[in-house]
Amino acid sequence: MTTKSAYLLADNVSPATVTNTSSLLRIIALALISGAAIASRLFAVINFESIIHEFDPWFNYRATRVLASQGFYAFWNWFDPTAWYPLGRVVGGTIYPGLMATSGVIYSVLHALNLPVDIRNICVLLAPGFSALTAWSTYMFTKEMKDESAGLLAAAFIGIVPGYISRSVAGSYDNEAIAIFLLMFTFFAWIKALKTGSAFFGTIAALFYFYMVAAWGMLSVFVFTLHKFSPRTLGGYAFITNMIPLHALALILMGRYSSRLYVGYSSWYAVGTLASMQVPFVGFQPVRTSEHMAALGVFGLLQIIAFAELVRSHVSSKQFQTLLFASVIGMGILGTLAIVGLTYKGWIAPWTGRFYSLWDTGYAKKYIPIIASVSEHQPTAWPSFFMDLQFLIFLFPAGVIMCFRQLRDEHVFVIIYAVVASYFAGVMVRLMLTLTPVVCVASAIAFSSLLDTYIDPTEPEIVEDSSTDVDAPQTEGSSNVAAPTPKKAKKAKDAAPLPSGPLSDIVSSVTAGSFKRGERPRGVFGLDTRLAVIVHAVGMLIFFVMHCTWVTANAYSSPSVVLSSQNPDGSQHIIDDFREAYYWLRQNTPEDAVVMSWWDYGYQIAGMADRPTLVDNNTWNNTHIATVGKAMSSSEEVAYPILRKHDVDYVLIIFGGLIGYSGDDINKFLWMVRIAQGVWPDEIQEPNYFTRTGEYRVDDAASATMKNSLMYKMSYYRFAELFGSNQAVDRVRGQQVPKTGPTLDYLDEAFTSENWIVRIYQVKKEDSLGRDLKSANAFAQGKKRKRTKPAPRRRAIQ
Amino acid sequence: MRFFYPLLALLPLLSLCLAKESAHDELVRLASAGKGVINLDERTYNLLTTPKRTWSATVQLTAMDKRRRCAPCKDFFPSFTEVAKAWATVPSKDRDGHFFATLDFDNAMPVFQKLGLQSAPVVHVYPPTEGPRKPANGRTAYSTYDFAYGFEPAPLAEQLSNHTPVPIPYKAPIDWARWGTFGGIALLFATTLRFVAPILKSRWSWAAGTVLTSLVMTSGYMFTRIRNAPFTGGNGQWIAPGYQNQFGQETQVIAMIYGLLAAAFLMLTVVTPYTVSPKRQKAQVYLWSIVIFIMYSVLISLFKVKNRGYPFKLLL
């Protein structure tokens, strides 16, 4: 019984050699993939330098420095008096310490080995390092779904896919850097626990779940959990804690309850929940908030089912019926009473308004402007999907179908993950990150099935049936039309020799995945077809690699602290205004000088300038942020008492009008207005900042409120002078700025960076003669005070 | 003569006092006549917003006449009436401290001109200038309702409650149509369960659902919903310019392309190998490979339209 082969294989190799060689090759492949994953994340270091990126990483870096220099206990009890001046911030109790602890451990280990590595380099390179681990855990996960070759493909995909690189380039020292590894490994351990029914793997899953909670937060949990804390830590990570319960529930509903499921889930839930409650910031949330009710509920359901199974095995079936009936009613009543009671007492909050923000996408915008103001929380348009996932995005549905063909327990997991993650990724750009792993896994399954089919050298036997198959599907089809649905399936099964027309081919081969596999010849004839498909597939892979390299180099490797542009001759021009300004603050102001800025820059000021700030990216106190927003959006006279009451010495703003940097404060200004309006609706009103026709303008047509606002004045102060006799143009808004710019009475320009991106103003002290600063200024300039209109006495704000 | 001056000076004051009394009474009368909403003209508008008022007022400035073609006015009008109606149920002690009024453009053009209004609808809230309810911060100018809260009655009532003596007792009416639809669907489902069950139990109906959901979601459907993106642009343009933007039709086209590509891959993997005739199989392999190549090229060229800096291309 020799089968025909499309090409020759060496047949004098022993099976042991084959296994050994393949495992060696796998190890080499994984090592290469890790290398590629790390290397492709180093663009940022090569193009710029080894620097921490963006905003949040600066805080993480600062916290890690405290941890590394003062030890864990000092870090745990760290109270930061310089943040949220004058309130201060209890850092130890309000963060997820997983990321900092990881770097701290690496730092200690390296120093114990006498490798004096700077903590900054550890922080910068942590994300690339963990991406290699992510590739490995994705390999392990996919191996459970299909086989090793699919695993390797998935590892390669996730190693270089831009959707994951976007959050893990060198220098983006953020929670996501390690969280995706933890996520994939938790899922792998869960699948393993489910497959083997092992409490050991359940516990492993729980431990990694704990690590993930410690690193990423329970936040994890939902868009809305963290209204009260922070839009930065908030994410729609709903499914991370809820994926496993959802999977378990789906299995129960499919009638696939087993003792393996029971052991795996119970060990995961019990250990994982208790462990996660040890993180102070999490506390009792896992048993009190709606986001975690699903996990708790499924846990309870599993106990009931397990108990019912136990009873059933001990009593006769009739007794069991009555028992079941009584207990179902009893438990229903008890459960309802318990939930009602607990809610009534206020111990749990199962269905609060915030539950809806996940589904009602307008909710956040309406009630919590601070969340909607963050660009990461915008919905995703299709080019972003393609940019981040390229050809994986259309292989992904094919992979999901492949999962449906086999539909083992673990495939259900991938399917649920696919649906949930694609919804969330569509709602919020940021959540593309959580979609990426499942896309890689599913498309690896699809792609490796394709390669398996066309690389396999065995040729099927030729069956001569060309005469019958023309009319056979037609008769089959016509009889099916009349027959009702259930019978149709039966009939199709009964028809022993399956007809092979194009239509029935599709039907039978797609549905036949689980049964009658051996009956039909399967394989590819000839070498040219194989070659065509494989060359095509390899071409797609090469294109994918080129795409990823291009996207990573051009779109995702900018530190955003340092900007770059191109000179006319094509060489790179570095714009380093941020650091220039922060270092100016550091070197020219007293150490306790309080700097006010919009919250986006709080962490950077604390990290780079080392000065106290009013608000920062941990947006836990909305009122404080609104105070800053109010100061920025009111007139000088109103803002001055606010500034003085908060001991503000310097005000820092970002202004892009000169070089066309669009992420500046004038463009964010409306959010300041909105957030201030939320707290002081009487004093700040958004419509006042628009022109009569409802436009947002900064030129002559701008509304009076806009022109008098502190932000406008600070942005355009002396801007027109720069253009001499020419018309001053704001390059971001593309509008002509009035020739006579605003004047400032209560602030002094202290520093303006090279490209005017950062402008710093010093707040004047009260006049020594007790005049208000406006008249003092007027006096100094030799203007006569107008008698006719005495200035109204200012009231102190309440 | 000397004695008369103070008296003369008192006269307008006296009349004003009288007028104020009667003004309030007149407003109460008008409000009850209009079922909670005063229909203003120029005179009554001035009466309502007199600088000496112990009452507060919400004025809707609108243009309901057909010739004005103000669609938002028509959308907003019922919400305003609903809220005013809810306010009319408040006991008269509090009710008479706040008035709801509507001012139509065609009845009082001068008022619109005086206020410098270019668009409608607008809702102004006038705080009282005298009496115990005078705002603590002394601001007596009107404030404008921010339509960013929406045209619905619920947020309107919530926002206006900040200005009324007692919160507006507005309760959203039960949406019978919605519950009816729910009930109808549930009933339909229950009755046809016997026929639906095989479909529900079939894995392929679930597979279709799953794949369709993820296709639609990954082609930016949620973007168009959240941003209320139009289906197409004007003048026959169906691709929105810009990388962070898209039209409704793009979702459909992209989802179709993704679906076709995925289907072609599935064909190559699961269907073609079962074809028993070598010739037909070869034809299928080449067919699907070409389909993949062409559709992929189309996709790339679409992406190049959105992201002009993209350096790669295939066929097109």
Domain range summary for chain B, segments of one domain joined by +: 4-160, 176-306
Beta bridge partners of A142: none
Chain A nearest C-alpha distance from B70 (Å): 16
SS3 assignment for A350-362: CCCHHHHHHCCCC
Which of B54, B57, B43 has its CA nearest to residue B17? B54
> CA-to-CA distance for B311 and A551, rounded, in angstroms?
10
Q: By CB neighbour count within 10 A (0-12 exposed, 13-18 middle, 19+ buried), where does A131 fall?
A: buried
Kindly indicate the confidence band of residue A31, based on its pLDDT and cuts at 50, 70 and 90: very high
Kindly indicate the confidence band of residue A375, based on its pLDDT and cuts at 50, 70 and 90: low
Which of B215, B224, B216, B214 has its CA nearest to residue B244? B224
Q: Are A666 and A105 in contact (CB under 8 A)?
A: no
- Select from B151, B159, B210, B218 the residue whose CB has the most chain A CBs within 10 Å, as the one to mutate to test that interface: B218
- Specify the residue for token string 């009630």: A367
Q: Which of residues 659-678 of A touch B (CB under 8 A)?
A: 677
Chain A nearest C-alpha distance from B219 (Å): 5
* CB of A239 less than 8 A from some CB of B: no
Q: What is the Cα B83 distance to its own chain's centre?
A: 17
Contact (CB<8Å) A382/B251: yes
User: What is the count of residue pairs from A and B with beta carbons less than 8 Å apart?
Assistant: 219
Q: What is the pLDDT of residue A500?
A: 44
Q: Are A52 and A58 in contact (CB under 8 A)?
A: yes
- Listed in sequence order, the DSSP H helices in A313-391 are 317-345, 363-367, 369-372, 382-389
Average pLDDT, stretch A656-677? 87
For residues B31, B37, B41 and B44, what is the CA-based torsion angle, rounded to 10 degrees? 30
Please list, residue by residue across B277-288, b when 16 or more beta carbons sit within 10 angstroms of its beta carbon and e when fewer do: beebbbebbeeb
Q: What is the pLDDT of residue A224?
A: 33
Percentage above 70 pLDDT, chain A: 83
User: For the segment A34-70, what is each residue's pLDDT rounded down to a tens digit?
Assistant: 999 999 999 888 888 888 988 888 999 999 999 999 9
Beta-carbon contacts of A721 under 8 Å, excluding residues fewer than 6 positions away, are A741
Selecting from B211, B276, B303 the residue whose C-beta is nearest the C-beta of A401 gives B211
Average pLDDT, stretch B63-92? 84
Compute CA distances B95 → A500, A758, B84, B89, whole Å: 80, 53, 10, 8
Q: Which of residues 435-454 of A touch B (CB under 8 A)?
A: 435, 446, 449-450, 453-454
Q: Give the 3-state secondary structure of residue B101.
A: strand
DSSP 8-state class, residue B271: I
Q: What is the pLDDT of residue A464?
A: 55
Q: What is the Cα A686 distance to its own chain's centre?
A: 31
* CB of B313 less than 8 A from some CB of A: no
Look at residue B266 and tell me whether its pLDDT is greater than 90: yes
Contact (CB<8Å) B286/A693: no
> CA-to-CA distance for A534 and A340, rounded, in angstroms?
61
> CA-to-CA distance for A712 and A745, rounded, in angstroms?
14
Q: Are B44 and B38 in contact (CB under 8 A)?
A: yes
> CA-to-CA distance for A178 and B231, rounded, in angstroms?
40
Q: What is the pLDDT of residue A368?
A: 53
Chain B nearest C-alpha distance from A482 (Å): 16
* CB of B197 less than 8 A from some CB of A: no
Domain B4-160: which CATH number of 3.40.50.300, 3.20.20.150, 3.40.30.10, 3.90.1720.10: 3.40.30.10
Average pLDDT, stretch A660-672? 87
**Of A349-353, A530-534, B107-111, minimum mean pLDDT range:** A349-353
Show the tokens assigned to A535.
Answer: 């060359």
Selecting from B207, B217, B277 the residue whose C-beta is nearest the C-beta of A401 gives B207
- Helix count (H) and strand count (E) of chain A? 33, 12
- pTM across the whole model: 0.80
Beta-carbon contacts of A674 under 8 Å, excluding residues fewer than 6 positions away, are A369, A373, A686
Average of per-residue pLDDT values in chain A: 81
Q: Which amino acid is at A634?
A: S
> CA-to-CA distance for A264 and A198, rounded, in angstroms?
6
SS3 assignment for A410-440: HHHHHHHHHHHHHHHHHHCHHHHHHHHHHHH
Beta-carbon contacts of B34 under 8 Å, excluding residues fewer than 6 positions away, are none
- Listed in sequence order, the DSSP H helices in A86-147 are 98-112, 119-145
* CB of B205 less than 8 A from some CB of A: no
Please say whether the dihedral angle defined by the alpha carbons of residues B103, B105, B110 and B113, taken in this order, is positive or negative: positive
Where is A648: in which H helix or E strand?
Answer: strand A648-654
- Specify the residue for token string 């507005």: B170
* CB of A684 less than 8 A from some CB of B: no
Contact (CB<8Å) B270/A513: yes
User: For the segment A548-602, what is each residue's pLDDT rounded down to a tens digit?
Assistant: 999 998 888 888 888 888 788 878 888 888 999 999 999 999 999 999 999 889 8
Look at residue B14 and tell me whether its pLDDT is greater than 60: no
Beta-carbon contacts of B252 under 8 Å, excluding residues fewer than 6 positions away, are B219
Compute CA distances A636 → A220, A530, A640, A715, whole Å: 42, 75, 6, 13
Domain range summary for chain A, segments of one domain joined by +: 16-450, 574-780
> CA-to-CA distance for A62 and A99, rounded, in angstroms?
12
User: For the segment A175-199, what is each residue's pLDDT rounded down to a tens digit?
Assistant: 888 888 988 999 999 999 999 999 9
Contact (CB<8Å) A384/B244: yes
Beta-carbon contacts of A672 under 8 Å, excluding residues fewer than 6 positions away, are A598, A628, A629, A632, A633, A665, A711
**Class for domain A574-780, per CATH?**
alpha beta
Chain A nearest C-alpha distance from B218 (Å): 6
- Specify the residue for token string 């962070």: B244
